[in-house]
Amino acid sequence: MAVGIVTDSSCDLSNEELEGTGIEVVPLYIRFGTEEFLDREEITVEDFYSKMAMAPELPQTAAPSPGRFEQAFLHHLENGCDSVVCINLSAAISATMQSAVQAAASLREAGKDADIRILDSRSVAAGLGTLVLQAQKLAVGGANADEIESHVAAATERTHVFGTLNTLENLRKGGRIGGAQALLGSMLSIKPIVDISSGEVAEAAKQRTRRKALDWLRNTVQEASPVEHLAVMHGEATDMEQFCEMLAEVHSGDIRVTKIGPVVGTHAGAGVLGVAYQVAEPHQQPPA
């Protein structure tokens, strides 16, 4: 390929999806107290949720070092790529993209004349993962860096990510809401729904039951139809399959299922369930 693709571990792409693609995934750091782990490399999704359930304090996440991005960029360049396109989680919620920008600048200062593009996905989890897979498909098909960057920019504008939280405990531990408010919300079975479609976390709705929250997500997908690249993302949610069946009632295409990793799971908590999709491009009308 002429263009190598790089992303970060918040993309939540599975090992099966990444196998054979050549996509370089730079890990974020996950901290449980004094213990620090490299996402994906030193802690699995399953181990993360198990440790978080037992941890008295909320785990913390940290952006990768610029050095890790430099390694990923050099791997592609030394293997014959003319350019590198790096697609990262939203710069509004993480310093990860800034780290990638620093890495590219360091390589240029060191005399490495390379075409490295750092793109803000303004998304995370399955939303970011879909953009990365699209970029990789274009690269395999022979697209150049300009074409891939243009496609990602356009697709970013059409990408939407929503999720419903199953617990308020992580918001309480993280200081986002007080203990009394969390207790009351839990007693009332309030299920907040967040919208990350703009790149920032915004409240989209509040529902009184889990089922109503899932109905809200399904209805949102239906109202946005036709949609492409629909994905269900979850943090060990036991009702994931039920939700996929609900979506199949309003969406006839494939539904990609992915687990939400530590980067989002730290803040969303176990049981988080959401959707990511792209609003379909309007088809050009034939000339009259």
The CATH code that applies to domain 3-28+63-157 is 3.40.50.10170
Predicted local distance difference test score (pLDDT) of residue 184: 43
CATH architecture of 159-279: 2-Layer Sandwich (3.30)
Cβ(164)–Cβ(204) below 8 Å: no
Enumerate the CATH 3.30.1180.10 domain ranges in the chain, comma separated: 159-279
| Per-residue pLDDT tens digits of the chain, which is 288 residues long | 699 999 999 999 999 999 999 999 999 999 999 999 999 999 999 999 999 999 888 899 999 999 999 999 999 999 999 999 999 999 998 999 999 999 999 999 988 888 999 999 999 999 999 999 999 999 999 999 999 999 999 999 999 999 998 876 666 565 544 444 544 445 446 788 889 999 988 888 889 899 999 999 999 999 999 999 999 999 999 999 999 999 999 999 999 999 999 999 998 889 999 999 999 987 543 444
How far apart, in whole angstroms, are the C-alpha atoms of residue 40 and residue 43? 5
Predicted local distance difference test score (pLDDT) of residue 113: 83
Predicted local distance difference test score (pLDDT) of residue 188: 43
For the chain, state the CA radius of gyration: 19
Strand pairing class (273-279; 29-32): unpaired
Cβ(36)–Cβ(58) below 8 Å: no
At residue 25, φ and ψ (nearest 5 deg) are -110, 115
Output the CA–CA distances (angstroms, integers) from residue 226 to 3, 122, 146, 204, in the order listed. Answer: 31, 22, 27, 21
Residue 31 CB neighbour total at 10 angstroms: 16
Enumerate the CATH 3.40.50.10170 domain ranges in the chain, comma separated: 3-28+63-157
Output the CA–CA distances (angstroms, integers) from residue 244 to 85, 113, 211, 247, in the order listed. Answer: 32, 47, 13, 5
Task: Please classify residue 53 by burial: count the beta carbons closer than 10 Å to its beta carbon, then call 0-12 exposed, 13-18 middle and 19+ buried.
Answer: exposed
Predicted local distance difference test score (pLDDT) of residue 185: 46
Specify the pTM.
0.92
Q: Which tokens hold the place of 50?
A: 């198990």
Q: Which tokens hold the place of 70?
A: 């430099």
Predicted local distance difference test score (pLDDT) of residue 279: 97
Predicted local distance difference test score (pLDDT) of residue 282: 72
